[in-house]
Amino acid sequence: MNSLVYALIEALRRHRWLRLLACAFIFTSLGNGLTQVVVFGLLLQWSASPALLTLAFLFATVPGFIGSLVGEKLCQRFTPIALLVLTELLGLIALLFPLLGVHYHSIPALLAVQSTEAVLSGISWPALTLLFKRGLSEAELPAATCLENVIFASQVLLGTGLGVVLFQHIPTLSLLAIDAASFLGSLLMLVLAGRVFAVVSTPLPADASDSVALRWQTLTLRQKRSLLILPALAAVGSPAMALLPALAQETHPENAAGLALPLLFARSMGQLCGPLLLKRDSLTHFAAQTPLLVTCLAVFLAAYGMIPFLSGQIWLALGAIFFAHLASNIVFAAGTFGVLSSFNAGQISSASGKAWRWQTVGASLFTGIAAVVASKFGAVQALYSVSTGGLLLVALVMNRCRD
């Protein structure tokens, strides 16, 4: 078998630390998804404006720029496992923000937890890629790509899925208690993983140092393209995803939360299933083919563009979102694999940090524009104009890095 799923199963069988790491991130993804449901569910219940709903997504993105800088520096001084444990501890403490938000009916407190999670995600990303690079062989990197997609999707698949079911049936404080328990479970798994982790020796160039500062002028064409894939996805996808709750509010005002939360769940199902359609050998091909990547982004945007016309047909709307994220997460898998495979262990934390920051800049810029357009012209017009502009810019930039 040549699928990414089979590659992941093989790697999980071979590495006990990887099994524990996967369990840890499933736990924390459950908690993060529940937090997202609490934040957006309360904002919708409190009748937040479309611009504020879009800015909530922005607050969950921008601080990641600072986090990636911090994470890149910390990777030079601490082990990746230690950094991941630190981010989980801080994530547990950050649950104080939604508690304050619920108690005082405070929107700033809800936005604060979004920002804190963004910082911690920025710190953990370079640590996670460095951990994969040190602990897995080159042949096992497709398994790391698949696992990162599972981690990414399980946040909404498990957390949002459970949250959608429970949000209107149990108190918000109970959801936050489940969230806290998930962080504690993750901490336990990470500590156990650190005890059994073993470095897989990977040859480095003779002049490679422990941490290499990357300069654009010295990168190969393959390395440049690999760094651009995730920012390209952010430029096209972030405005659309940020506008999703506002689209639900605008097209289905009588039950915005009832539509928006299932749409978030459908989004995660697509995120999970998209990379699973790929074979391990096809990742290299996808990462090198600009037209294929741009086509996937265009399919994503077209599917989102159908949502305003499907407001009265929720199952078709859910299908459109699912299909959109099948396409977008093929791009995500290609971008993740491109970074892991194009840089050596001495470069990987710097490269992944740089890709994360560019991704954050792209998401922040286009989401900010979308928020402004949504406040003046509505969410639907913002979706069509901003994401389409992002797609055209991405096609132009990526075309310059073709072989």
Enter the pTM of the model. Answer: 0.80
Please give the pLDDT value at position 17.
93
pLDDT tens, 292-318? 888 999 999 999 888 877 766 778 888
* H helical segments located in 60-138: 64-74, 80-93, 96-104, 107-135
Please give the pLDDT value at position 20.
94
Residue 215, SS3 per DSSP: coil
> Can you tell me the distance from the alpha carbon of 329 to that of 179, in angstroms, rounded to the nearest whole number?
26
Ordered domains of the chain (ranges, CATH):
4-198+215-399 (1.20.1250.20)
Mark the ranges of the chain whose per-residue pLDDT is less than 70: 1-3, 50-51, 53-54, 57, 152-157, 160, 200-213, 249-261, 275-276, 311-312, 401-403
Please give the pLDDT value at position 192.
94
**Do residues 270 and 329 lie in contact, with contact meaning Cβ atoms separated by under 8 Å?**
yes
Please give the pLDDT value at position 156.
59
Please give the pLDDT value at position 258.
63
279 — phi, psi (to 5°)? -95, 155
Please give the pLDDT value at position 254.
62
